[in-house]
Structure 1
Amino acid sequence: MSEPKRSKPRRHIEPIFKSVSPGGVGSIPGTPLYIGDKAPTEAAFSLIQYDHDEISFVTPESIEEVLAMLEDGMVNWVNVNGLADQDALKRLGGFFRLDSLTIEDVLNTEHRPKIEDFGRYLLVITKMLTKRPDDTIEYEQVSIIITSNSVLTIQESPGDCFDPVRERLRSGTGRLRRFGPSFLAYALLDVIVDHYFSLLEWLGNRLEDFEATSASARDAAGFMTGLQDVKADLNRFRRTVWPVRDTVVALAHSDSDLLEEALTPFLRDLQDNAVQVIEAIESYRETASGIHEVFLSSVSNRMNEVMKVLTIISTIFIPLTFIAGVYGMNFKYMPELDKPWAYPVAWGLMISIALGMIVFFKRKKWF
């Protein structure tokens, strides 16, 4: 009994929105409910306080310590890594008088990047993208809340791309220490967008590798799987960055009193960077489609070459088969069969026909 054929494993396509938290459907608006594609991590807190002359870096153990350390005369950067402690987020929201819808948006990590003006504070939701060790892209939501003297950053898990900002604060170089919370929020957004360029460079290098081997790749399945992975990364990258651009545009045109006037040219520059990222993504998508077409064309050409060789071989053997078929018939009266020279003449005729056809094909440059 023959073994049943094994079906090939299907490529898994991740849904755009999914949740590990049941019970979110039909909940009351403003309900603090975690929604995300992975289990929430335990919250860890950090606090950076600075002005033009002084700066301090503190790692509090609890949200109560964070709130007790806040000072009015300094810029307070409160960073929360992890969304498992919803009570801590509620206490943080109560202290800064955050709307319940804000806490709900922070806990919904599948939110579209956006900006909302609540008067006494601004809520900016964006996406931070990092490359994992297994050459996949991790999408993490970052919520930035801007108040009159503080910036709250709430992330899904530890690890971010904000170290350049922390180093600039520590060294005191540049404008960061001379401006208020809105400039700190801009610096964080600028680092996030700048990090997109490093991912674009990595994706561009992958596309260059595929482009270099598109006309000579022999492993069709492996080539197509790898190229489709890159195209899927580009498509999701585009879906993520497009609303980020809209968010930056809305922030640049906001008339909120929380945004300093000196910030306007910097926000325009940030907008230009976001547009440049989108243009690069569109260019890479076109490049990926072109590589796909070149590969399919090369596969088709190789198949045509194989078929041409087989056709030439078949054409050469058609007259030989005819001669062999004629003299292979079992008729009693075939005068050539009784002649001693019949066998070598038949061979000579078939060889001559074959050589003549090969010479003819060569002159036509058919192979």
Structure 2
Amino acid sequence: MKLFNKKYHKPGTKPGTVKVGENTVFHIDLYDYNANDLKIEHNADVATCKAFIQSDNCTWIHVQGDPSAEAIKLLGKDLGIHELYVEDIINVGQRPKVEVNDEQIFLILNLPFKENGRAQVDQVSLFLTKNTLITFATGKVNPFEGVIERLENKIGKLRKQHTDYLMYALVDTIIDFGFPMLETYSEQIQKLEDELMETKNERILGSIHELRRELLLIRRRLWPQREVINELLRSDGNPLLNEVTLMHYRDCHDHVISIMEMLETYHEMTSGLMELYLTSVSLKLNDVMKFLTIFTTIFIPPTFLVGVYGMNFNSDASVANMPELNWEYGYIAVWCVIAVMVSGMLYFFRRKRWI
């Protein structure tokens, strides 16, 4: 996951400038429905979408992938999407935000997921008018398969509600994508804790650092979504949002808070793992230094003793010149003295609980 992944134009460019991307692989799916009927158009073109926009049914137009600038401009022109909104849709990596007025609501949210073991974030843009909802999602896989299944099979009350309820269902899906990711992070943290208790190699330190970095970046991308839901909840009286839908958005708000709290907790836990690793390495180093210090201390007195008797002064020249050199059991006596010194120091260290 990149530290900087926001697309932007050259500073000074006219607002609303849309740059054609190199990869423009996308498809448009259209769902037009009411309580009794559902019509689906896969790989629809802009002209088909325009025809359904005028119907009294609820119309959902979903654009998946990296759309071309021409398609975005046509949709924007037909639906009255402001040029600045079009620019935000094309230039992915935007901060989650919401623009609310009596005629339209524009949302940008971030959808987190794991791909090949790495954290990824797709941008999802939602544009709501009276009877029409248009969504734009980056990535190759449609994240709203569950909502589509509910529409097709008449599960729940989705088909009986207006487009604002459909937008709630999509927002709830985007937010709930955070829970599987949090479960993955929980398993990673638990695994790292178990490995840290068993071994203390540098690979674990790298894994902890990578996990901590991912959590920090995911937190940065998801944190503003609380403000988005709060802004929707403050839109009481807006003709595009009825009271029943606003009650469901309160549940979304609870989910957002829960996800952010768990992200904060996991980030603190990874910081604790980092400190635990460094502490364990420091304790291991202290144990090594302690052993070496005790080992050196034990052998200092015997080294001093044998060093003194290694001078070999002539005892015949003076009685003060090491008369012990002529003792019959002098060698054994020296070893006895060394054994007593070592035993005494070991006993002393044991009494002090140093060993």
TM-score, length of structure 1 as denominator length: 0.88
Give me the whole-angstrom Cα distance separating, in 2, the residues matched to 1:40 and 1:272: 37
What SS does the aligned partner of 1:176 have? coil
Number of the residue aligned with 1:155: 137
What SS does the aligned partner of 1:282 have? helix
What SS does the aligned partner of 1:178 have? coil
- Please say if 1:350 is aligned against 2:350: no
Q: Equivalent of 2:38, from 41, 51, 55? A: 55
Give me the whole-angstrom Cα distance separating, in 2, the residues matched to 1:214 and 1:66: 56
- Please say if 1:287 is aligned against 2:269: yes
- Please say if 1:146 is aligned against 2:132: no
Q: 1:54, CA displacement in angstroms?
A: 0.9
Contact 2:164 / 2:240 at 8 angstroms: preserved in 1? yes
Number of the residue aligned with 2:319: none
**89-98 or 335-344, which deviates more:** 335-344
- Please say if 1:137 is aligned against 2:119: yes
Give me the whole-angstrom Cα distance separating, in 2, the residues matched to 1:300 and 1:41: 53
Which digits, 9 at most, give the CA deviation of each residue in 1:79-108, with x for residues without a partner?
111234110111111111211111111112
Number of the residue aligned with 2:76: 93
Q: 1:61, CA displacement in angstroms?
A: 4.9
Give me the whole-angstrom Cα distance separating, in 2, the residues matched to 1:59 and 1:362: 80
The 1:128/1:160 distance shift into structure 2, 3 A limit, reads farther
Give me the whole-angstrom Cα distance separating, in 1, the residues matched to 2:255 and 2:162: 23
Number of the residue aligned with 1:253: 234
Q: 1:231, CA displacement in angstroms?
A: 1.2
Which digits, 9 at most, give the CA deviation of each residue in 1:270-294, with x for residues without a partner?
1111111111112222222222222
What SS does the aligned partner of 1:47 have? strand
Structure 1: segments with no counterpart, 5+ residues: 1-12
Contact 1:34 / 1:83 at 8 angstroms: preserved in 2? no
Q: 1:356, CA displacement in angstroms?
A: 2.8
Q: Equivalent of 1:33, from 19, 26, 43? A: 19
TM-score, length of structure 2 as denominator length: 0.91
- Please say if 1:227 is aligned against 2:208: yes
Q: 1:212, CA displacement in angstroms?
A: 3.0
- Please say if 1:327 is aligned against 2:309: yes
Give me the whole-angstrom Cα distance separating, in 2, the residues matched to 1:258 and 1:18: 30
Number of the residue aligned with 1:5: none
Percent identity for Structure 1 against Structure 2: 32
Q: 1:343, CA displacement in angstroms?
A: 1.9
Give me the whole-angstrom Cα distance separating, in 2, the residues matched to 1:52 and 1:193: 26
Q: 1:71, CA displacement in angstroms?
A: 5.1
Contact 1:215 / 1:294 at 8 angstroms: preserved in 2? no
Give me the whole-angstrom Cα distance separating, in 1, the residues matched to 2:67 and 2:313: 94
Q: 1:119, CA displacement in angstroms?
A: 4.0
- Residue 214 of structure 1 aligns with an amino acid whose one-letter code is L
Number of the residue aligned with 1:122: 105
Q: 1:314, CA displacement in angstroms?
A: 0.9
Number of the residue aligned with 2:151: 169
The 1:18/1:109 distance shift into structure 2, 3 A limit, reads closer
- Residue 90 of structure 1 aligns with an amino acid whose one-letter code is K
Give me the whole-angstrom Cα distance separating, in 1, the residues matched to 2:288 and 2:219: 40
Q: 1:316, CA displacement in angstroms?
A: 0.6
Q: 1:111, CA displacement in angstroms?
A: 1.1
Contact 1:34 / 1:108 at 8 angstroms: preserved in 2? no
Q: Which runs of 4+ in 1 moved over 4 A?
A: none
Give me the whole-angstrom Cα distance separating, in 2, the residues matched to 1:211 and 1:222: 13
Structure 2: segments with no counterpart, 5+ residues: 316-321
The 1:78/1:18 distance shift into structure 2, 3 A limit, reads closer
Give me the whole-angstrom Cα distance separating, in 1, the residues matched to 2:155 and 2:67: 36
Give me the whole-angstrom Cα distance separating, in 2, the residues matched to 1:61 and 1:174: 27
Give me the whole-angstrom Cα distance separating, in 1, the residues matched to 2:42 and 2:18: 25
- Residue 142 of structure 2 aligns with an amino acid whose one-letter code is D
- Residue 324 of structure 1 aligns with an amino acid whose one-letter code is V
Contact 1:216 / 1:298 at 8 angstroms: preserved in 2? no
Q: 1:29, CA displacement in angstroms?
A: 0.7
- Please say if 1:16 is aligned against 2:4: yes
If you compute each CA radius of gyration, which structure gives the higher value, 1 or 2?
Answer: 2
Q: Equivalent of 1:273, from 227, 233, 255? A: 255
Give me the whole-angstrom Cα distance separating, in 1, the residues matched to 2:84 and 2:20: 13
Q: 1:130, CA displacement in angstroms?
A: 1.1
